[in-house]
C-alpha cells in the first residue's frame, strides 16, 4: 500500500511526497528492494545523484542479479562523470541481460565521450544486430564511424536511420554534416533545413546551416540563421563568433571586432573567438592586441 502511494505521487511528479512514502516503506522493511529502487528513481530526478547511487547500490546488495539496478546506477554515474564506473555497471547489466539493446547504446555513448571509438563501434554494431529496425542504432553507429573519419560508411548509416525514421531530426542533421564533408553544400543545407523543420528550436542546426551559407557566400541567409540563434538564446556565443566571420569576410573589421569581443564576453575560454579577433585587430593595424589574442588562443588550445 505504501509503495502504491509512492507511485501515485511519483506519477503526479510530487517527488518529495513520493520520497517520504518510500522512506517509510524502508523504515518498516529495510530489505524492501522495490522501495530502494523506486527511491533511487526519485533521487535521480531530483539530481541527488550521490543518494541515488547509494539507493541503487542497496538494491544490488540485496539482489546482485538485478540488471535494472546496475543500469540505473550506471546512468547516474555517467551523469556524474564517473565514466569508468558507469561502464562497469553497464557491462554487468549486459552480462545479466545481454538482449537489452539500450545497454549497448548507453555504454557506446560513454565510449564515444571518452573518444574510445572502436569500443563504441563494437557496442553500436551489437545494437544494430539485436535491433536492426531501430533508427537510433544506425544514427549512433554513423556518428561513431564519422568520428573515425569514414564518411562513406557514416553516410550509409545516416541514410538507413532516415529510412527507418524520416522524422529523426538528428539523422537529417548528421546527414547534413556528412554532405558538408563531401563538399555537397546544397545537399548539406537541404538536410539541415529539414532538421530545422522537424526541430525548429534546436539552435545548433541554425548555426551549422548558417556556417554553410557563409561558405557558399550567401551572407544574408547566414546572418538570418545566426540572428535566429540569438533569438533562441541571446547568450549563444557561437552565433556572435560566426557573425563576426561574416563581417570580416565583408571587410568590416570594426564590426567583426565587436562581434568577436561579444563572443568572448559570453565565453572567456572561446579559443576560436580570440584567434579570429586577432585577425580583425591585424586588419586594423593593432599588432600588439593581435599578438596578445593569438597567445590567448594558443593557451586555450
How many angstroms separate the CA atoms of 35 and 24, rounded?
9
What is the full per-residue pLDDT of the chain (301 aa) written as tens digits? 777 777 777 788 888 888 888 888 888 889 989 988 989 998 999 999 999 999 999 999 999 999 999 999 999 999 999 999 999 999 999 999 999 999 999 999 999 999 999 999 999 999 999 999 999 999 999 999 999 999 999 999 999 999 999 999 999 999 999 999 999 999 999 999 999 999 999 999 999 999 999 999 999 999 999 999 999 999 999 999 999 999 999 999 999 999 999 999 999 999 999 999 999 999 999 999 999 999 999 999 8
Burial class from Cβ neighbours inside 10 Å (0-12, 13-18, 19+) for residue 121 reads buried
Burial class from Cβ neighbours inside 10 Å (0-12, 13-18, 19+) for residue 192 reads buried
Contact 143, 123 (CB under 8 A): no
In this prediction, residue 24 carries a pLDDT of: 83
In this prediction, residue 10 carries a pLDDT of: 77
Contact 91, 110 (CB under 8 A): no
Give me the torsion for CA of 58, 64, 67, 72, rounded to 10°. 20
Cβ count within 10 A of residue 268:
12
Residue 149 zone, left/alpha/beta (φ > 0; ψ -120 to 50; rest): left
In this prediction, residue 139 carries a pLDDT of: 98
Contact 43, 51 (CB under 8 A): yes
Q: In the chain, what are the domains?
A: 1-80 (1.25.40.10), 235-301 (1.25.40.10)
In this prediction, residue 226 carries a pLDDT of: 98
**Nearest 5°: phi and psi at 216?**
-85, 0
Amino acid at each position: 500500500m505504501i509503495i502504491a502511494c509512492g507511485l501515485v505521487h511519483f506519477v503526479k511528479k510530487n517527488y518529495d511526497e513520493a520520497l517520504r512514502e518510500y522512506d517509510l516503506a524502508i523504515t518498516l522493511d529495510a530489505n524492501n528492494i522495490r522501495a530502494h529502487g523506486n527511491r533511487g528513481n526519485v533521487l535521480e530526478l531530483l539530481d541527488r545523484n550521490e543518494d541515488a547511487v547509494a539507493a541503487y547500490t542497496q538494491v544490488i546488495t540485496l539482489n546482485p542479479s538485478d540488471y535494472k539496478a546496475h543500469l540505473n546506477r550506471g546512468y547516474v554515474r555517467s551523469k556524474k562523470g564517473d565514466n569508468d564506473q558507469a561502464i562497469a555497471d553497464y557491462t554487468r547489466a549486459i552480462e545479466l541481460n545481454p538482449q537489452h539493446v539500450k545497454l549497448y547504446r548507453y555504454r557506446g555513448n560513454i565510449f564515444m565521450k571518452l573518444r574510445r571509438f572502436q569500443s563504441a563501434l563494437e557496442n553500436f554494431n551489437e545494437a544494430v544486430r539485436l535491433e536492426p529496425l531501430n533508427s537510433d542504432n544506425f544514427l549512433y553507429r554513423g556518428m561513431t564511424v564519422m568520428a573515425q573519419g569514414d564518411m562513406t560508411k557514416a553516410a550509409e548509416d545516416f541514410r538507413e536511420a532516415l529510412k527507418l525514421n524520416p522524422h529523426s531530426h538528428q539523422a537529417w542533421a548528421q546527414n547534413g554534416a556528412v554532405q558538408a564533408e563531401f563538399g555537397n553544400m546544397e545537399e548539406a543545407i537541404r538536410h539541415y533545413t529539414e532538421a530545422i523543420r522537424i526541430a525548429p528550436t534546436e539552435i545548433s542546426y541554425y548555426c551549422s546551416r548558417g556556417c554553410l551559407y557563409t561558405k557558399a557566400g550567401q551572407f544574408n541567409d547566414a546572418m538570418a540563421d545566426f540572428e535566429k540563434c540569438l533569438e533562441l538564446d541571446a547568450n549563444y556565443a557561437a552565433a556572435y563568433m560566426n557573425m563576426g566571420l561574416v563581417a570580416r569576410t565583408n571587410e568590416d573589421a570594426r564590426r567583426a571586432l565587436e562581434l568577436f569581443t561579444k563572443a568572448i564576453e559570453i565565453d572567456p575560454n572561446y579559443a576560436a573567438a580570440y584567434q579570429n579577433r586577432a585577425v580583425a585587430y591585424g586588419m586594423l593595424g593593432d599588432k600588439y592586441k593581435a599578438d596578445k589574442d593569438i597567445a590567448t588562443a594558443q593557451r586555450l588550445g
